[in-house]
Chain A
């Protein structure tokens, strides 16, 4: 037996070294927490702050909330390889309907009501070049029976375009309505409203809602995807259009190209009728006239459009009720706001970057319709970590993640 001591020692040695390593490899980074300073704690329950920790070339991404913090690198193996869903609403659909959601990642391609879950996306050959065989790929799930079906229907005049991007899917009566942005071979953009029968794609129809003007030196950039919840039924859809024109004297301006802004507008469409709804609001027109030099947040929630931008000593929130054409303006007196998100009828504000500065990153939440401040909280170290005072200095918060508030 004594002859074999070498081999006998080897196994425990291995288990000891490797086991110890994995046991103590658990927590290496300080834990942060979002602490309430004033207001209602429940307002912060849906918010997570995203940041980076560490000054060296490899900072760790961390997510901080009112319960504590979690570092991306320290999530479990299965959490790290989980698929990325593009929005919280789609992720919830994936959890509820695992099989139906296979291979369906697009955040704007879903419609859900009490009876039905519909998915519609545009597929085609040579996406990005001349589209061939452009077709809607549609899947339906009957939530009551659990049965699903799918079909394909050709996109009317699909081959005129290079790519088609779905921005919203709605169901009106027995028709599926799909709002898309189409780009043709000359990079001109159009907004389309397609309709076809729900059960089998009968009678596909195409309606052009907006067409970018043909022009030598003007270009219109269209942006979409501003619905607070793209999955639930919605009557309206909002697009943001910026006109760019060639700058005089070849000066380099917006985005590095020799273009300058010549105006901006919000395009609002009623999906049920296919008509554009004109916005009658002086405040919104004033805001847009400055173009995107003043960055603002835009969100469509039900029948209301919310805009928020930094102004003067705080944040200005504009609420425009579409059917009533009524504008409400509120100013929230919070400064050093770095980032705003409009969701759940609230204005979420991220305050104060932290990179060697004294200020701690904070979160403020206000009611988007009244401007009243509902919550204010600051990031601090959780529990007893007194010797990590330099930890807060190494933290840099850059984003807000807001989950849908299921009321």
Chain B
């Protein structure tokens, strides 16, 4: 357990520079976007008010109010960092393994020589991917209320509609996927994400075990996992439409998901212990 924890820390530590720069980029980009959005909006408002000789309230009745929601939904400065962080983590899902094979003195030598069960290595890597994803999500949750406060400070209350954090997230195209409405859905979404990571890790290990054949095998494994996951629902809806109640479909998929994850984990450990060679 201690070895595992140290490995988790090690994996986290070696990625910290890029990881924290993701935090910084998100923070800077979203606040910069906020500032630019509000400044441009107020400039437009004053411009139109001058040109059409409208008072504040007349402007509002003609053109409507703005809101924090509108900034979040429309600004690239807000949404791009979210997409960037997601892309970075997806990329690191692969690199977290492949970086160990880089260079002349491949780190994988030392890693595999450690007096620790190889499954600890695997579990540490997956733990880190999961924690880093959740860490970014938590960070985003932390700075959104701050942005809302800043927004309210920059735009006078006459021109904006009140917005709550929850309201914005629930209606946001990207954030409503990362932070679904209820905690039950949160658990389901992230469990599905975890299953996806497990399957990808298995595919990577297949490639590392069998090289060229493995690359094809890895891709095939991934596709097979997706098909097996979707098959029960596709069959049931085609042959017996509406036969299964939605709660039953969820339960069915959960069982299938757990089975796929367990099979993938078992296969990964097998490859790691027997087949991965340096």
Contact = CB atoms under 8 A, between A and B. Distances in A.
Contact of A21 (B13, B134, B141, B250): B141
Interface of B: 5-6, 8-9, 12-13, 16, 67, 69, 131, 134-135, 137-139, 141-142, 161, 164-167, 170-171, 179, 181-186, 240-247, 250
A7 interface: yes
Nearest to A94: B245
Contacts of B8: 7
Given A28-B164, A73-B170, A103 B243 contact: yes
Given A21-B166, A22-B186, 18 more contacts: A4-B6, A4-B9, A7-B9, A11-B131, A14-B134, A18-B179, A20-B141, A21-B165, A28-B167, A56-B67, A56-B69, A58-B171, A73-B170, A76-B182, A77-B182, A83-B245, A102-B243, A103-B240
Interface residues of A, number: 30
Contacts of A203: none
Contact of B12 (A7, A21, A28): A7
B134 A18 contact: yes
A221 B134 CA distance: 58
A178 B131 CA distance: 60
A25 B167 CA distance: 9
Nearest to A101: B245
20 contacts: A4-B5, A6-B13, A6-B16, A7-B9, A10-B12, A18-B179, A21-B141, A21-B165, A21-B166, A22-B182, A22-B183, A22-B186, A28-B167, A56-B161, A77-B182, A77-B185, A78-B247, A81-B250, A83-B246, A103-B240
Nearest to A19: B183
A21 B165 CA distance: 9
Given A4-B9, A10-B135, A22-B186, A81 B247 contact: yes
A82 B247 CA distance: 7
A105 interface: yes
B242 A83 contact: yes
For the complex of A and B, list the 10 residue pairs with the smallest distance between their C-beta atoms, beginning with the closest.
Answer: A17-B138, A81-B246, A7-B9, A77-B184, A103-B242, A22-B183, A14-B134, A14-B138, A17-B141, A103-B243
B258 to A, nearest CB: 19
Contact of A103 (B134, B141, B183, B241): B241
A81 B248 CA distance: 11
Most A CB contacts (10 A, CB to CB) among B5, B69, B138 go to B138
Contact of B242 (A10, A25, A105): A105
A28 B170 CA distance: 12
A24 B166 CA distance: 9
Contacts of A25: 166, 181
B134 A6 contact: no
A14 B167 contact: no
Nearest to B138: A17
A6 B12 contact: yes
A28 B169 CA distance: 13
